[in-house]
Structure 1
Amino acid sequence: MKSPSGARRPKAGRRGGLGQGGRRGCGPRIGRIANPGGCSGAVGSAIKRTERVDSVLPGNRVASGSQTIRSETSGKLEEAMSEKIGFVGVGRMGANMARCLHDKKFNVTAVYDVRAESARELAPEIGATACSTLAQVSELADIIFTVVTDDKAQLAVFESPEDNLLKGKPAGKIFINCATVSPKVHVEVEKLVEQVGASSLEGCMASSIPQAREGKLYLMVGGKEAVFQKVKPILEALSVALTYVGGAGKAAQVKALVNMVMNINTLALAEGLGLGHALGLDLNMLRNVFSQTGAASRVLQTDGEDMQNREHSCFFSAEHAAKDSGIALALAREIGLHLALADATKCQYDRLVKLGCGQLDKSAISELTFLDRRAREVPL
């Protein structure tokens, strides 16, 4: 969707680490993906929102005690800005997070990507070293963000026998893992890093590329709270909202639910617009009605016009929508809960992937709901 200035409006859930996409069988106007880089009942009581409002009395007088708090905060920020920061996975999200911290005068010293050219392109821009190995990242940085694609990739950066972040001298390092992966993977990573005297957090993101660049991410953090407090100034620099959820795996549970609901909403919108089109309704009118009634949603704002216009340039891929819905369904199966809508949504995204459209945006699910596209086809 275009903004009045002509710039593309950010879609919900845009993220990095995706591969290059194609257009096979998905219609003539579908956009192509740009070059890439990549809860349980206990949660409610554990959630803590980070507030950033200064306590000020009328007349702009600082409330009693605020000066001490502000001094302590300033000291923590100065300490955080002296830390050496590394990034593993500098695709669309990771690279823009690194740029954001560099712009805010944090010390980004090391970048790495499986696509070595991505690291080489970014490094001179932010004054960092383009590392050839994961072990080198750990040598050059104290706090390391990982922004990878899936469970396998997340575990590999910590336990691959050829090269991993725990080789060398990892003691004292803090790893902040931002990928949407299974909660059990975050639990396993925490065990792995603690065995060598390091620490880890999950820093789950519910935002898009422009927010990564501008330091306006929505971050959900899981892991030990003491570790969270150490890196909080860095996370605050990257975010507009920061929520500490609880222990390892808990933030990943919340993120799985966020994406599950988002994906269900996306399919529901695609079906509504597809049926409206089949009935001969004006879709501009229909979207306007949706926006003012119970059919309103964030997805309507970000994806509605794109579904109508078949504009599926990738902000959050159909392939990742399928993966993330699968994570939520796996959690449900573990506790014996059947989620009919989540299951149906995953089936449709799996179908889209099989049709060769997995690297298109999640809005491409509408290709399966419009009669003049592929809705008449028998599912594979």
Structure 2
Amino acid sequence: MKVGFIGLGTMGLPMTRHLVEAGYETYVVSRSRGPIEKALAFGAVEASSPKALMETVDIVMTCLPLPSTIHDVYDGPNGLIAGASAGKIVIDHSTVDRATNEWASSRLKEKGASFLDAPISGGPMGAEAGNLTIMCGGEEDAYERALPVLKAFGDYIVRVGETGSGTTVKLLNNMLIGVHQSALAECYVMAEKAGVDPAVAYEVIKRSAGFSKSMDWAINAILDRQFEARFSINLLHKDIGLALKLADDIGMPLDVVKLGAEKVAKAKEKYGDQDVSAIIRPLEEATETIVKRHKKESH
């Protein structure tokens, strides 16, 4: 089987590598030469355009940052849709909105092709390890045909329901990240101000009912002051905005999520390019308290 991948970023490039390692003849397209050269080095093949890639392969995967980027890649005379034909499948791993999913699905269906919205969770570490969580929306037949390919880089793969349902679950997940990281900021700063080592507080809470996986994500980045983006505040801000828009569309109040969104927006003003663990930084500045690793006392 021939497959294609568009979006060779921190997630897409290792996902593409896993496809090659799984034995799939893998074609790639990118606007930047750097990612293309890396993909070619581990055995991928370059296509000249999204349209050419779509015409060549059986299944195409995309992993792109914004709804507008989806339209850029899918639409137009050299876009994926122009190269689509009966029996082909397009899988989008991006975190976008349901309207974008429905638009892509409808346009591809006109060509006899199928579409799955299949957002991913697990971060760059999960992409490198090939153990991503993948939440899929779309027709069951397309999902079953795509499942062996998805297993190249995913180890928990679920068809949630029809088109847009994978995106819905991803937005639920990411709005919780905003809430959790905002609450964790207050937790760690409060521990520091109260004279408790935040690392010790983390170890206790990890074994208690208040634990969330967001604590594992953030703790070392905060304590070691290493805020290079694995998942940036800018992207989280975009995703929470999409979640709030969906909530408005279906008449769902999200009072707590809106508080988290305010904290994310505040952090974005100065630290948008940094990791979501940097949501703590405005609170540290406001309280004149820096959360960092404590030196162990020698005895």
Q: Normalised by the size of structure 1, how large is the TM-score?
A: 0.72
Superposed displacement of residue 373, structure 1: 6.3
Alignment partner for residue 107 of structure 2, among 186, 189, 192?
Answer: 192
Alignment pair present for 1:135 and 2:51: yes
- Whose RCO is larger (CA < 8 A, sep 6+)? 1
- Check whether the contact 1:120–1:130 (CA below 8 A) recurs between aligned residues: no
Cα distance between partner residues in 1 of 2:196 and 2:2:
57
Amino acid paired to 2:39 = L
Alignment partner for residue 163 of structure 2, among 232, 239, 248?
Answer: 248
Corresponding residue for residue 13 of structure 1: none
Corresponding residue for residue 14 of structure 1: none
Alignment pair present for 1:155 and 2:71: yes
Partner SS for 1:86: strand
| Structure 2: gaps spanning 5 or more residues | 291-299
Cα distance between partner residues in 2 of 1:251 and 1:169:
22
Cα distance between partner residues in 2 of 1:188 and 1:307:
40
Alignment pair present for 1:122 and 2:39: yes
- Check whether the contact 2:51–2:78 (CA below 8 A) recurs between aligned residues: yes
Cα distance between partner residues in 2 of 1:222 and 1:277:
43
Show CA shifts across 1:149-208 (max 9, x none). Answer: 01111122111x353112245343210000011122111110011112211111111112
Partner SS for 1:315: coil
Show CA shifts across 1:248-274 (max 9, x none). Answer: 001110111011112211111111111
Amino acid paired to 1:246 = G
Alignment partner for residue 106 of structure 1, among 3, 24, 38?
Answer: 24
Kindly, what percent of the aligned residue pairs are identical?
A: 26
Corresponding residue for residue 76 of structure 1: none
Cα distance between partner residues in 2 of 1:133 and 1:235:
23
Cα distance between partner residues in 2 of 1:245 and 1:367:
36
Corresponding residue for residue 5 of structure 2: 87
Amino acid paired to 1:196 = K
- Check whether the contact 1:138–1:169 (CA below 8 A) recurs between aligned residues: yes
Superposed displacement of residue 147, structure 1: 0.5
- Check whether the contact 1:367–1:373 (CA below 8 A) recurs between aligned residues: no
Cα distance between partner residues in 2 of 1:101 and 1:163:
24
Q: Which region of structure 1 is more displaced relative to structure 2, 275-284 or 251-260?
A: 275-284
Show CA shifts across 1:26-68 (max 9, x none). Answer: xxxxxxxxxxxxxxxxxxxxxxxxxxxxxxxxxxxxxxxxxxx
Cα distance between partner residues in 2 of 1:97 and 1:214:
9
Corresponding residue for residue 251 of structure 2: 336
Alignment partner for residue 320 of structure 1, among 235, 256, 262?
Answer: 235
- Check whether the contact 2:20–2:42 (CA below 8 A) recurs between aligned residues: no
Cα distance between partner residues in 2 of 1:185 and 1:152:
9
- Check whether the contact 1:158–1:192 (CA below 8 A) recurs between aligned residues: no
Corresponding residue for residue 57 of structure 1: none
Cα distance between partner residues in 2 of 1:343 and 1:142:
42
Cα distance between partner residues in 2 of 1:338 and 1:307:
31
Partner SS for 2:274: coil
Cα distance between partner residues in 1 of 2:22 and 2:266:
43
Superposed displacement of residue 366, structure 1: 0.7
Amino acid paired to 2:237 = A
Q: Normalised by the size of structure 2, how large is the TM-score?
A: 0.91
| Structure 1: gaps spanning 5 or more residues | 1-82, 375-380
Which structure has greater helix proportion?
2
Amino acid paired to 1:105 = G
Superposed displacement of residue 236, structure 1: 2.2
Partner SS for 2:119: strand
Superposed displacement of residue 103, structure 1: 1.1
Cα distance between partner residues in 2 of 1:372 and 1:236:
47
Alignment pair present for 1:348 and 2:266: no
Cα distance between partner residues in 2 of 1:284 and 1:210:
22
Residues 169 and 150 of structure 1: is their aligned pair in 2 closer, same or farther, counting only changes over 3 Å?
A: closer
Cα distance between partner residues in 2 of 1:305 and 1:168:
45
Partner SS for 1:369: helix
Alignment pair present for 1:358 and 2:272: yes
- Check whether the contact 2:36–2:46 (CA below 8 A) recurs between aligned residues: yes
Partner SS for 2:80: coil
Residues 348 and 298 of structure 1: is their aligned pair in 2 closer, same or farther, counting only changes over 3 Å?
A: same
Cα distance between partner residues in 1 of 2:140 and 2:57:
21
Partner SS for 2:216: helix
Superposed displacement of residue 365, structure 1: 0.2
- Check whether the contact 2:11–2:127 (CA below 8 A) recurs between aligned residues: yes
Show CA shifts across 1:120-174 (max 9, x none). Answer: 3312322x32233212211322210001001111122111x35311224534321
